Amino acid sequence: MEGPWIRPWVGSVYYGEDETGELMERYLARYPAYREPQRKDLRNLESRLQSVSVRIGLYPDLIEERLTRGELLLKLRYPELSVSDAKKALIFIDTNAAEARPDLDDEALDILRCRTILLIGRSLFLGRCFVDCLDIVPKNPSKNKYAKDEDFVRLRRYAQKALEFELDHNMQDPSFQEMSEEDQEHSISKGEIMVVPYPWISDKLFRRKASAIDHANSDIWKLSQGRVIIKQSTLSDQLREYGQIRPDQDSYGIFATKDIPADTELFWDRTILCATTGEDRCAACCADLNQNVFYTTALESCCDMACLRRLRMACQPGRRAEVQGMLADAPQNEDEALLHRGLIMAHKYTQDNPSKHPLRARLLNRLTARYHPGARRAFSYGAEVCRPIEILQKLGVDIFTDDLSEAWVLETMFNRISTNVRAVEPDGNAIVAVNTLYSFFNHSCDPNVDTLEDDLKGDSSVGMVTNRKIFKGEELYISYIADKDLRKGYHQRKKLLEYWTGGECLCRKCAYERGSSWTLDDDMEFEDESGAHNESQRRRGGHYSDFEADWVVHDTDDLSEDSYQEE
């Protein structure tokens, strides 16, 4: 936050068009200090945010400055960032203040604590975390003579009403009604925010570095035996035109370097970042250890030497299980466990490369986030604020000074991971994973590449196989939705794909249907009588353009010691 803003400011508060959004706006209208910034205000706010961030870096014990920054971030409509600053302030007040700040007497600490709790409550309210807001904000503020009754009472009243609106809205959803009571409580406790690029994130951290693409190309060249490479996608201009990627974002795809016959196995992409709800699984790839155990510790086991080497480079054997065993609350599902594991891996990278930024790590530098207009996601105070801070503390990180503990870094990291996650269920065990080479494939509703899973190992690796002949220069596509969903009508597919696209799917099949005079029933299937896709429909998904390979292959091994270092 210390550098100049190089991107337009866009807040992350999701108001929606329902009663809840109107209620949030009415609450803010009562506090002129939190009026939404106008364009003319942004330069001053930028300068103030930079100045206070510099002071925090120089004097991390000045907790008043951290609260000031949290209040500035809330005014800028970044509740997920302001609540993190406020949470750190509360930790400091409750644990470090007496020793680090002898100038603060009990009265001063009480004043700061009231200010901190109010900031946490307001941030959670604007992040639509109404359950957590009601848990944090005291019911009887009068017990503290420094608390303003009307501020706390008003916030609780608005949060309670907003929660009632949310419950009424959710009860109209049949899928919510079918949930267990525990799952309903977990769902309603989550908030929701817009996914936005923070204006101060530098170009070198925002886009994938050329060296990262070179190293990925080196890996994919070897694994595919020179059949495919990574280049700028043929969809890049369309994606920018439709607003599905930002003008300053990159867009890569995978292309054939030669004609490739149908049913050719291109490569297998193994991963280190995965999580599962199942037991007796490999700590590195989530393979079923009932098939084979190569290495075991008191806490974790690996299925083969490759996984052991990857685990040692990424987070050390047993480290993840050790840290999670020390947490007050375990991850509630495999998705939360995946984010926490990514955090532990990022910490290992910063330990090995003290002068490098966490977002430069190979695992993260190969991934891109989604920033299309209207993109939003669930936000959890526990999973994305409290537990990451707790994990970092267990790892020995100074949460007041370390770059990895900065909320915008964590949010950017979690966004990249969540955007590129894939899920599989071998033997009924849910596995979520990030496969960095797989993530370079773009989507088509008429894909020319199918994915394979290793049924024997049941792990998080994914194989890629052509489903028809691929011509030299053609971009390769996979499907982001299930095969059965590809046979649905255009409008249903569009709805399923909106998480990634934010609007129209730009594949040739969808473009053809949008421009066609057909009147398609939403349940219509695109198959002939034999159940096979028509070949002419398959070819509409391809792009045919010759090119020269204008990149350099680096002589590195996919399992070499620098596999998870910076690129």
Binning pLDDT at 50, 70 and 90, where does residue 315 land?
confident
Domain boundary pick from 191, 219, 244: 191
- The burial of 256, by beta-carbon neighbours within 10 Å (0-12 exposed, 13-18 middle, 19 or more buried), is given as buried
pLDDT digits (tens, 9 = 90+) for 88-106: 999 999 998 888 899 998 8
Q: What is the pLDDT of residue 190?
A: 92
**Do 183 and 230 reside in the same domain of the chain?**
no
Q: What is the DSSP letter of 540?
A: T
Helix (H, G, I), strand (E, B) or coil at 221: helix
Band (pLDDT 50/70/90 cuts) for residue 550 is very low
Question: How many of the other CB atoms lie within 10 Å of CB of 126?
Answer: 27
Q: Is the pLDDT at 465 greater than 90, yes or no?
A: yes
Q: Kindly tell me the sign of the dihedral angle through the C-alpha atoms of 38, 51, 34, 388.
A: positive
213 in the same domain as 187: no
Asked if residues 67 and 115 have their Cβ atoms less than 8 Å apart, the reply is yes
Mean pLDDT of 224-236: 93
Q: Are residues 173 and 233 in the same domain?
A: no
178/227 same-domain check? no
Which range (1-10, 36-45, 419-428, 516-525) has the least confidence? 516-525
Residue after which a domain boundary falls, among 141, 162, 191: 191
Backbone Cα Rg of the chain: 25
Residues 93 and 120 in one domain: yes
The two three-digit tokens of residue 223, written as one number: 């694994």
Range of the domain at 185: 19-191
Whether residue 294 lies inside any domain: the answer is: no
Indicate if 112 and 227 belong to the same structural domain.
Answer: no
88 and 47 Cβ atoms separated by less than 8 Å: no
What whole-number distance in Å separates Cα of residue 224 and Cα of residue 217?
Answer: 10
Length of the chain measured in residues: 567
| pLDDT tier at 304, thresholds 50, 70, 90 | confident
3-state helix, strand, coil in the chain (%, to 5): 45, 10, 40
3-state secondary structure 393-407: HHCCCCCCCCHHHCH
Query: Does some domain include residue 202?
Result: no
* From 50-59, 370-379, 458-467, 534-543, the region with the lowest mean pLDDT: 534-543
In a domain, 304, yes or no: no
Q: Which of 157, 191, 225 is the last residue of a domain?
A: 191
Q: Which among 133, 148, 169, 158 is positioned nearest to 28, based on CA atoms?
A: 158
63 lies in the same domain as 180:
yes
Place of tokens 């600490």: 109
- Let me know whether 187 and 62 are in one domain: yes
- Residue 257 identity (one-letter amino acid): T
101 and 31 together in one domain: yes
- CATH classification at residue 76: 1.25.40
Contacts of 170 (CB under 8 A, 6+ apart): 176, 184, 187, 188
pLDDT cut 90: percent of the chain above it: 53
The token duo for 423 is: 């899920």
- The predicted model gives 392-415 an average pLDDT of 95
In this structure, is residue 303 part of a structural domain? Answer: no
**56 is a domain residue:** yes
Residues 226, 135 within the same domain: no
Q: Are residues 65 and 107 in the same domain?
A: yes
Mean pLDDT, the chain, integer: 85
Asked whether residue 222 is domain-assigned, the answer is yes
Closest CA to 540 of 505, 517, 512, 519: 512
Span 322-358, pLDDT tens digits: 887 888 777 888 898 899 999 999 999 999 999 999 9
What is the pLDDT, as a whole number, of residue 539?
A: 31
Which helix (H) or strand (E) covers residue 277, if one does?
none
Residue 399 lies in a domain: no
Task: Kindly tell me if the per-residue pLDDT of 72 is higher than 80.
Answer: yes
Instruction: Decide if 537 is inside a domain.
Output: no
Sign, CA torsion 554/559/561/565: positive
Query: pLDDT, tens digit, for every residue of 32-50?
Result: 888 889 999 999 999 999 9
Looking at the fold, whether 112 and 236 belong to one and the same domain comes out as: no
Question: DSSP secondary structure string, 436-474?
Answer: TTGGGPEE-SS-SEEEE--TTT--S-EEEEESS-B-TTP
- Token output for 303: 């299925």
> How many separate domains does the chain show?
2
Helix (H) or strand (E) holding 267: strand 265-269
Q: What is the pLDDT of residues 156-195, one digit of tens each?
A: 999 999 999 999 988 888 888 888 888 888 888 999 999 9
pLDDT band (50, 70, 90) for residue 519? very low
